Amino acid sequence: MKVEIKKVSIKDVLFSAFPLAVFVVMLLTAVFEVFKPEATLTVSYVMGLVMYAISATILFLVSSVVLLFAYNFLCSLGVRGVRVDLEDK
């Protein structure tokens, strides 16, 4: 069965588990910074890592929304959407 994704609802993307998953990944990348040899664990350093995770999450979500706007705009102009072949096994 062939399925074509024509329009992606931005509201559904923003209010799903996607932002939480992005934040967890960004927080994990910030936690890995603790294991650097020159890292010293202070409160300001940890808060900087948390702020890095929050800002990276916001930046990623804003870029995702911009790309979704572009995708939806191109689909409204008549460009084909993403096609996926699904097989039952």
pLDDT tens, position by position, 14-61 = 999 999 999 999 999 988 887 888 877 888 888 988 999 999 999 999
Three-state DSSP at 37 gives coil
pLDDT score of 89 = 75
pLDDT score of 34 = 78
Q: Are 34 and 49 a contacting pair, CB within 8 Å?
A: yes
Q: Which pLDDT band holds residue 62 (cuts at 50, 70, 90)?
A: very high
C-alpha 40/C-alpha 26 separation (Å) is 20
Q: Are 80 and 6 a contacting pair, CB within 8 Å?
A: no
pLDDT score of 70 = 95
pLDDT score of 2 = 87
